[in-house]
Structure 1
Amino acid sequence: MTVATILVLYGAFAAVVLPGLLGRVAWTDRAPRLAIAMWQAASASVVVSALLAAFAVAVPASVVGHGLAGLFEACAALLGHDASLNTPATRIALVAAGLVLARLACAGGAVLLGARRERRRHAEALALLGRHHTGLGAMVVDYEERLAYCLPGRRGHAVITTGALRSLAPEQVAAVLEHERAHLRGRHHLVLAAAEALTRAFPRVPLFEQARMQVARLVELLADDVAARRHQRVHIAAALVQLATGRVPAFALGAGGETALTRVRRMLHPQAPLDRREHLAGLLTVAVLLAGPATLAAAPGVASFLAHHCHSLLTL
C-alpha cells in the first residue's frame, strides 16, 4: 500500500503543481518539439500513476517478484481462484483502473469521431465552393476574410481564401502554406486531440488544462520553425500579421489566431537553439516524467525478487 499511496500523492502533486513548474521553463519557445514532449510526458505520468497505483494494490509485490508466470497466476487468482488476492481492496483497485481507462477511451473516441465528422462536412463544402490550385498545392476558396488553414485527415490539404491571396505577396503565400503543410506532415491534429481528450475525460485538472493550451501554442511555433527552414522569417512574420484576425474552423489548424502577434516577434527576433546541455536536460525531464512512476511501481517487485531469489543465484 505504501507504493500505491506514493503514486497517488505524486499524481495529485503533478496535476496541481507541475503546471506552474513547467510553465516557468524558459526554453520551451526555443525547442517547441521537445516542449510538446515534456507536456505530454507530464500528462501521461499522472494517468500512469493512477493506473499503477491500482495495480500496486491489486497485485502484491511478492507476486510480481516471481516473474510473469506468477503474474499470470495472480490474474487468474483475481478472477476468483485465490481468495487471498480476491479482496475488497483488490476489487476496488481494479474497478478504479477500469473506470480510468474507460473514461479515457470514451473521451478519446468522442474527440476523434467528432473532429472527423466536422472535417468530413467541411471537406464536402470545400468540394463545392473551392477549387484546387495546382501551382499552390492548396484548395482556394472564394471568401473575403483572410484565412489560411489546413484540413487534417487521411486526405488532408491546405486551404487559403481569395482574401488572403489578394493581401499576401507570393513569397508570403508560399511561406504560410508551408506552415500548414508542416501541420499535416506532423499530424499535429492528433497531438491536439490527445490533449483535448484528457481535459474532456478529467475536466478541471490544472495540468491537463494547461497542457492543452501549451500544446496548442507550441504546435504553431513548431510549424513556424519548419516553414522557416525553407522561407525567410520576415515573410512568415508578414503573413502572420495579415492573418492574425482570421478565425479558422475549430477542428482545423490555422496560421493566424490568438498567438499570431507573439509569433511575429519570435520570427523577427529568433533565439538561439538549445545547446547540448540544455537539450539533454530537457530529454532527462521527459525521461523522468515517463519512467518515474513505472520505476516506483516496479521497485517492490524487484526487491521481492532479489529477496527470494538472490541466495539461490549466488549459490550457483
Structure 2
Amino acid sequence: MTVPSVLLLLGAMTAATAPRLLARADWPEREPVLAMWVWQCVVAAVLLCCVLAMALTASAAWTAVRGHVFAFAPHGVVDAYGLPGYGPWAGVLAALLACGGAWTAAMLTREVRAARARQRQRRADLLVRAPRLPGEGPGFDLPADQRLVVLESGRSDAWWLTGAHPQLVITTAALRRLKGRQLDAVLAHEQGHARARHDVLLHCAGALAAGFPQVPVFAGFRNQVHRLVELAADDIASRRFGRLTTALALVELNEDRGVFGPSPMPLAQMPGRVNRLLDPGPRLTWAHRARVTALATLVPVIPLLVAFGPGLKALA
C-alpha cells in the first residue's frame, strides 16, 4: 500500500507544516491576493491527497470500484499499482476516507444553507427598514451593480448583500460622515468583495474548519482568509482612490465602534488595516510574485504525480 501511504503522509505533512511556514512569512500582508492563492493551493493539495488515497484503497478492496477507476487504463497500469497486495486494511481505510469526504460535503452544505438563511433574514430585515417605493415592485429592473439601498440609521455602516440580486447597503450616518472620495473608497471596497466572490471562499473555509477543527491547515485557512479578503478589498479601493483616502474612510466608518481604543476587541484587525494603508510595505517584485505563484501551483500537482507515477512509469 505504498502509494496511498505516501499520499496520506504527504497530506499530513502539508496540513501540519504549511500553516507554520505561511505564518512566518512576512509577505502575505503585502500581497493578500497571492497569499489567498497559496492557501487555496495548499488546501487543494491536502484534499487531493485524501481523495486519491481513497480511490486507490477502494480500488484495491472492491473490484467494482477498480473497474470504474481504471476503466480506460491498460492492463499493465493496473498491475503497476499492486492493488492485491494492499491487504485487508484497504477497505477500512477507504471507508474512513469516504466518511471524511461525506462529512466535508455535509459541512459545506450546512454552511451554504446557513448563509442562505442569514441572507434571507437580512433581506427581510432590509425590506422592513427600507420598504419599496411605488414603482419598485419585485419586477423593478435595475442593474445589480447599481442597486443601492440607503438605510436611516445613527450607526455608520456599509455592506454588500450578496445573492441573485446583489445590493449595496449604506446607512445615512455613513453618508454624513464620509466625505467625497471617502464614500467612493468604501463603495469600491465592498464592490471588490462582490466581484472577487470572497463570500464563496469564506464559505468553503468555514465549512472545512467546522468539519475538521483539529486540522491546522483548515483552521489557519479560515482565520487567514477572513483577514486577507479585507486586505485585498482595501487594496482595490486604495488603487482607485488612494491609500490615505481609504484609510480615512475606514476610520470614519468605524471610529464610533471603539475599535481604535485601548481594548479594540470587536474588530481588532481594523487598526492594523489602517496602519497598513498609511505605511505600506514594499510589494514583492514581479519576478518574486511569479515564482511564488508557480511554486504554489505546483503544490497540488505533487499528489497527482505521486498517484499517477506508477501508471506513467508502466506506460513508459
TM-score over 0.5 for the alignment? yes
The answer to whether the 8 A contact 1:132-1:140 is kept is no
- Does residue 108 in structure 1 map to residue 108 in structure 2? yes
Distance 2:193 2:157 in 1: 15
Matches for 1:148-227 after TM superposition, within 5 Å? 148-227=158-237
Aligned partner of 2:288 among 278, 281, 286: 278
Matches of residues 100-139 of structure 1 in structure 2 within 5 Å? 100-130=100-130, 138-139=148-149
Distance 1:174 1:146 in 2: 15
Q: Give 3-state SS (helix, strand or coil) of 1:149's partner.
A: strand
How far apart in 2 are the matches of 1:106 and 1:225?
34
Q: How many residues align?
A: 286
The answer to whether the 8 A contact 1:157-1:184 is kept is no
Q: Which runs of 5+ in 2 are unaligned?
A: 61-65, 134-141, 258-265
Cα distance, 1:211 vs. partner?
1.0
1:51–1:281 distance in 2 versus 1, CA, 3 Å? same
2:139 counterpart residue number: none
Query: 1:131: how far off?
Result: 6.6
Contact 2:58 / 2:91 at 8 angstroms: preserved in 1? yes
* CA shift in 2, pair 1:149/1:49, >3 Å: same
- Seen in structure 2, the aligned counterparts of structure 1 residues 99 and 71 have a Cα distance that, compared at 3 Å, is farther
Residue 2 (structure 1) aligned with residue 2 (structure 2)? yes
**What is the deviation of 1:117?**
0.9
1:106 Cα deviation from its structure 2 partner: 0.6
CA distance in 1, matches of 2:180, 2:167: 19
- Note the residue ranges of structure 1 that are not aligned, 5 or more in a row: 76-82, 248-255, 307-316
Which of 63, 69, 72 does residue 69 from structure 1 map onto?
Answer: 72
Show CA shifts across 1:181-209 (max 9, x none): 11111111001111111111211211111
Pair 234,84 (structure 1): closer, same or farther in 2 beyond 3 Å: closer
TM-superposition CA deviations, 1:63-96 (whole Å, max 9, x none): 89x9752489x99xxxxxxx95997434224323
CA distance in 2, matches of 1:291, 1:191: 21
Q: Rate the CA distance shift 1:101–1:245 in 2: closer, same or farther, 3 A.
A: farther
Residue aligning to 2:36: 36
Can you list the C-alpha shifts for 1:101-127, whole angstroms capped at 9, x where unaligned?
211111111101110111111111112
Residue 17 (structure 1) aligned with residue 17 (structure 2): yes
Displacement of 1:246 in angstroms is: 7.2
Whole-angstrom distance in 2 between the partners of 1:237 and 1:9: 45
Q: Structure 2 counterpart of 1:208, which letter?
A: F
Match of 2:63 in 1: none
